[in-house]
Chain A
């Protein structure tokens, strides 16, 4: 999902910064509020950041014969809401842009939007929906993390298609083309991320299967 340095036209790069910035600012405020109101969740927040840190470093093989990495943003989005992940994900992406030449500073706005905003919001929405219709918590977490991961890669495909529409088939055709590279590769990896998120969520809470598993992590009870 990393768009490499200098590979988005200037107007697109600037546009994605403008779109992403408000989310990151709002996320920073939310983060500060959470830490003030529920200081006991600091460790869980840091663990959510660490999870993203690990998963986005792991490039795994996929059945398409190429490699890609999960995002790890679903866990934090389910526990703390999507805004917080805008900040935590941005930190990871900045680290990779500066130290690994992976992603980039000019494409940071676009990459933040796909990995730290679009993915987490989808995760959070799926989680809420799953909880509402009474799906078991573990299944909800799995679906949230899996679909959020996929959403990130679908977003990257759309971002590239908007910047580089196909001369014949336009934006839609280009979305399918980039989707073939990013989103299809990602399907098995997204499933793996979903399963792993369930395991780590259980391990962090120690309350697997209990109805208050997530709220015990987010500090909203006790």
Chain B
């Protein structure tokens, strides 16, 4: 059970790290994506830069984009949970191969 307790505190630390920027006073920022900021920096250093290729398909709105990101996370987390749960229930056999 020591491992479970450690996992709890590790997850608590992760939550604290992620939440800190949102609640710490004095921190400022718009919380834009670093990928977008990088793109902005390219354009700022090279005024008038035009990307020479466009995405073949773009999510038509921010809502659809966040839907797809959520779907990506949900599929991954769902499958991870499935594997962890399956192994947890078969742990009596002490095998990690299922």
Physical interaction between A and B? yes
Q: Per DSSP, are chain A's interface residues mostly helix, strand or loop, or mixed?
A: helix
Contact between B32 and A67 (Cβ–Cβ < 8 Å)? yes
Q: How many residues of A contact B (CB 8 A)?
A: 79
Decide if B65 touches A40 in the complex (CB within 8 Å).
no
Contact between chains at B55 and A188 (CB < 8 Å): no
SS class, residues of chain B in contact with chain A: helix
Asked whether B20 lies within 8 Å of A67 as measured between CB atoms, the reply is no
Give which listed residue, B24, B45, B87, contacts A204 with CB less than 8 A.
B87
CB distance from A19 to the nearest CB of B (A): 19
Which residue of A7, A52, A189, A205 is within 8 Å of B96 (Cβ)? A205
Contacts of A6 in B (CB 8 A): 50-54
User: B42 to A199, Cβ gap below 8 A?
Assistant: no
Contact between chains at B51 and A219 (CB < 8 Å): no
A residues in contact (CB < 8 Å) with B:
1-7, 10, 40-41, 43-44, 46-47, 50-68, 95-102, 104-106, 138, 153, 156, 160, 164, 166-167, 174, 177-178, 181-182, 185-186, 188-189, 191-192, 195-196, 198-200, 202-209, 216-217, 219, 222
